Chain A
Amino acid sequence: MNRYVGRLAVGLAAGSMAATGIGVGAASASNAHRAVAHRTQSVTITFWDDNGGPRTPLYEHLIPIFERQNPGIKVKYVGIPDTSVLEKYDTAIQGGSPPDIAAIPGGDLSAIIAQNALISLNKYYQNSKIYGQILPTLLKPTQAISPNGKTLYALPFSGVPATLWCNLNILRPAGVTCPTTWNAFFTDAVKLTNANKGIYGFTMRGAAGATTQLIDEMISYAGLERFFQPNGKTSLQSPRVLQFLQKFVGLYKKATSAADVDNSYLQMVAEFDSNKVGMMLHNLGSYASNVAAVGGKQNLVGEPDPAGPFNHGRVTMAAPGLDTYGIFKASKHQAQAWKFEQFLLGAEANGYWNKNVGQLPANKNVLKQAWVHQQQPVGALLAALSSKNTYAVSLPNYLPQYGAIQNNSDPLWQEVMTGQITPAQWLDQLCSALDQAQSLWTHGHK
């Protein structure tokens, strides 16, 4: 009897487990849906947005326009939360179920290319009506991410250059204008600080993302014109860079809040947007939230990173961060996905998207639109990037380890801020890791 009941219990357990799989029925329903779609010659492509939430309304506006222009193609929009984009894409690629087309942050592109998940867009782009319209300032760094430096595994739709944000609510009463040189920046940051009133001249990024930010600033201050020298060693290993780091960390607690040691971009932007901080080094992407927080465009200035003391009149800056669109190899509707990508990169859609986000548009024709010059930071950054006097340094986003190297250096930067290690020690470990990664990459591609 006991044995019988035991078997019954085990059987019931197995049965229940099987019963919970009743959703299998949904698969056949989905197949039926596909069959109907096939009969009506309509194709549905899936589009993943890497910044779901804030930017969802923009695509909800653009997708119906595309669908009206292309009656045979439906676009299924899926907004992926920004904090988990690469994990979601990796799982989908490895699980064999990626979308047809996706927005991919430039920093994650090499990891996705390394999985052989994207198709080359060179031929699509060359034969398209948008050929030649993408800004070389954004196109070349995208191309440089591919292993051979030529294949376009994605096309850029927006650029996010490093930006010095100035809150005029704090600067005006002190009679300070947004600094254009690093020397003025260091002086003004201290001048604006009144710790007793809780006002600080600057907010420093001490935690996650600190290294990413610092690399932009080191390049700008030291006037570096290439990331790696011909001998494969990074140009960051320089006395000029060390001088910058020493001056920069000297601002901590002198012109910043002590809490800045724990600042990721979340806390840093929140601190700036609290109207208690004069300046912040971030990128163009925080434009919309900054404008809202300081009470309008008239109270905010965004400028390129200041000019360094060694630049001899030339402005050097890190190439802008990238937002790109890529088409997945596993897609059965690559041609339709390209049509959608071409639409998104066209002047109308690209202009609409970047105008609302406040970033650099990728399509040259958008630069003729009035808003580009009405949004001061976009105009200023664009002018700097298009100036013959500016040198934009490409970052080694092609290195698969580049993201990890930066992440590993972030906690060590906190140790610099708290005086546990010196800026020189921090710079040594960063340069050593970069040199090693570059060496591996060079040997792997010989």
Chain B
Amino acid sequence: MSAITAPAVRGMGGSGWTQFRGRLNSARLHLFVPLTLYLLFTIVPFYWMVVFAFRPTTSNHPYPWPITLANFKEVWNVLGFGTFFENSMLVGVGVLIGLNVICAMAGYALARFKFAGRSALILILLCTQFVPGVMLLIPLFVIFRHLGLIDNLFALIIADIVFQLPLTSLLMSGFIRNVPVELEEAAMVDGCSRVRAFLSVTLPLLRPAFVAIGSFAFIGSWNNFLFALMFMSSQNHFTLPVGLDYTIGEFSVNFGALAAGGLIAAVPVVVIFAFVQKYLVQGLTFGAVKG
């Protein structure tokens, strides 16, 4: 009996194991091991965030038990995360739209036109990236105060657009340069104006670029703590990063609320990445090999 069954089991198990080992040995092991380790490093902090967010303050369990939503209720209802979330969303969407519109125009100008000082302009745009936001805090504050924009969410939209515009314009000009100009010329031969040719021919081809730049713009403004704290002076105008800081007191920290707030702040970013990652990779490698 055993002589009949044993080879069958051994045969099946042996075949599966051999196949698995074969797969591991073949060029994948050196990928799996570092990626698994990297994943662990990435996932463990998130796991702890989930544990702290869902377990009561008095629990010491390494897993979220007993499960409670008290921390979420506290951050949403007591600390006002509902308002902060809404403000962050408004600013993020505003920056996403505004930045894409402006950097498409700036990128088009840089990609398609040769004008005096173009190289200098590109150099200046690059150099602006070396200036930290904190250095321009007081000048920007004074400008916004004169414009009556202190404690106004438009100040955040403008500041975020201004700071992200140089790099995104350069990125966009690279994307546009990789769209053959002949396509626009063909449209213009057929009677289109340049603007119409851009809107009808080039723009649809730039979808991955808009997704990539839009994602960066949204996430950049979503995480911006400095401007949100400095340019806003009303509790109901603060954004999520400022709200998260509310959970850290002068002499004590509410870790449950901090973790719950962190999850609320992280979810939209994770969802956005999940949906747009295909476009994001496409956008970042767009034109990487020019044929």
Given known pairs A5-B194, A30-B148, A76-B234, the reply for A285 and B250 (CB within 8 Å) is yes
Query: A5 and B248: CB pair below 8 A?
Result: no
Query: B195 and A5: CB pair below 8 A?
Result: yes
Contacts of A288 in B (CB 8 A): 252
Tell yes or no: B247 within 8 A of A by CB.
yes
Query: B255 and A51: CB pair below 8 A?
Result: no
Contacts of B148 in A (CB 8 A): 23-24, 26-28, 30
Query: A23 and B141: CB pair below 8 A?
Result: no
Min CB–CB distance A106 → chain B (angstroms): 11
Query: B101 and A16: CB pair below 8 A?
Result: yes
Query: B105 and A81: CB pair below 8 A?
Result: no
For A1-43 the 0/1 string (1 means CB < 8 A from B) is 1100110111011001100111110111010000000000000
Query: B234 and A78: CB pair below 8 A?
Result: yes
Query: B229 and A81: CB pair below 8 A?
Result: yes
Tell yes or no: A429 within 8 A of B by CB.
no
Give bound CA distance, A56 to B105, whole Å: 45
Given known pairs A6-B113, A13-B105, A275-B60, the reply for A97 and B145 (CB within 8 Å) is yes
Q: Please pick, from B101, B108, B109, B145, the residue contacting A95 in the complex, using a CB distance under 8 A.
A: B145
Q: Which residue of B lies closest to A292 (CB)?
A: B57
Interface centre among A13, A16, A53, A270 (most CB of B within 10 A): A53
Interface residues of B in 229-276 (CB under 8 A from A): 229-230, 233-235, 242, 245-255
Q: Which residue of A lies closest to B254 (CB)?
A: A54
Given known pairs A23-B154, A81-B245, the reply for A95 and B138 (CB within 8 Å) is yes
Tell yes or no: A173 within 8 A of B by CB.
no
Interface residues of A in 240-288 (CB under 8 A from B): 265-266, 269-270, 274-275, 282-283, 285-286, 288
Tell yes or no: A46 within 8 A of B by CB.
yes
From DSSP, what is the main secondary structure of chain A's interface residues?
Answer: helix
Given known pairs A81-B248, A97-B145, the reply for A9 and B154 (CB within 8 Å) is no
For B10-34 the 0/1 string (1 means CB < 8 A from A) is 0000000000000000000000000
From DSSP, what is the main secondary structure of chain B's interface residues?
Answer: helix
Interface residues of B in 118-164 (CB under 8 A from A): 137-138, 141-142, 145, 147-150, 152-155, 157-158, 161
Q: Can you name 9 extra interface pairs (CB under 8 A) apart from A23-B147, A27-B152, A53-B245?
A: A20-B98, A24-B147, A24-B148, A51-B250, A53-B248, A79-B246, A80-B229, A105-B250, A269-B251
Tell yes or no: B5 within 8 A of A by CB.
no
Query: B246 and A52: CB pair below 8 A?
Result: yes
Using CB atoms and an 8 Å cutoff, list the residues of chain A in contact with chain B: 1-2, 5-6, 8-10, 12-13, 16-17, 20-24, 26-28, 30, 46, 50-57, 76-84, 87-88, 91-92, 94-97, 99, 105, 160, 265-266, 269-270, 274-275, 282-283, 285-286, 288-289, 292-293, 295
Chain B: number of interface residues, binned into ranges: 35 or more
Query: B158 and A21: CB pair below 8 A?
Result: yes
Contacts of A91 in B (CB 8 A): 137-138, 141, 230
Given known pairs A20-B157, A76-B234, A270-B255, the reply for A53 and B247 (CB within 8 Å) is yes
Q: Please pick, from A20, A99, A285, the residue contacting B251 in the complex, using a CB distance under 8 A.
A: A285
Give bound CA distance, A286 to B113, whole Å: 62
Give bound CA distance, A283 to B249, whole Å: 14
Min CB–CB distance A296 → chain B (angstroms): 11
Contacts of A82 in B (CB 8 A): 245, 248-250
Query: A266 and B250: CB pair below 8 A?
Result: no
Contacts of B155 in A (CB 8 A): 23
Contacts of A13 in B (CB 8 A): 102, 105-106, 109
Query: B248 and A83: CB pair below 8 A?
Result: yes
Contacts of A26 in B (CB 8 A): 148-149, 152, 154
Contacts of A99 in B (CB 8 A): 233
Give bound CA distance, A20 to B58, whole Å: 48
Give bound CA distance, A115 to B113, whole Å: 50
Give bound CA distance, A78 to B237, whole Å: 10
Give bound CA distance, A16 to B106, whole Å: 11
Contacts of A94 in B (CB 8 A): 138, 141
Q: Which residue of A lies closest to B79 (CB)?
A: A53
Give bound CA distance, A82 to B246, whole Å: 8
Interface residues of B in 87-128 (CB under 8 A from A): 98, 101-102, 105-106, 108-109, 113, 115
Tell yes or no: B78 within 8 A of A by CB.
yes
Contacts of A54 in B (CB 8 A): 246, 249-250, 252, 254
Give bound CA distance, A79 to B233, whole Å: 9
Q: Please pick, from B58, B60, B105, B152, the residue contacting A9 in the complex, using a CB distance under 8 A.
A: B105
Contacts of A51 in B (CB 8 A): 249-250
Give bound CA distance, A56 to B243, whole Å: 12
Give bound CA distance, A77 to B233, whole Å: 9
Contacts of A5 in B (CB 8 A): 194-195
Query: B145 and A96: CB pair below 8 A?
Result: yes
Query: A23 and B98: CB pair below 8 A?
Result: no
Given known pairs A20-B161, A26-B148, A78-B233, the reply for A266 and B248 (CB within 8 Å) is yes
Contacts of A265 in B (CB 8 A): 251
Query: B251 and A21: CB pair below 8 A?
Result: no
Contacts of B248 in A (CB 8 A): 53, 81-83, 266
Chain A to chain B: the 5 pairs with minimum beta-carbon distance, closest first = A27-B148, A285-B251, A53-B246, A23-B154, A81-B245
What would 17 A/B residue contacts be, using CB atoms closer than 8 Å?
Answer: A8-B195, A16-B105, A23-B147, A27-B148, A79-B246, A83-B245, A84-B245, A96-B142, A97-B141, A97-B233, A99-B233, A105-B250, A265-B251, A270-B253, A285-B250, A286-B251, A292-B57
Query: A282 and B194: CB pair below 8 A?
Result: no
Min CB–CB distance B82 → chain A (angstroms): 15
Query: B253 and A269: CB pair below 8 A?
Result: yes
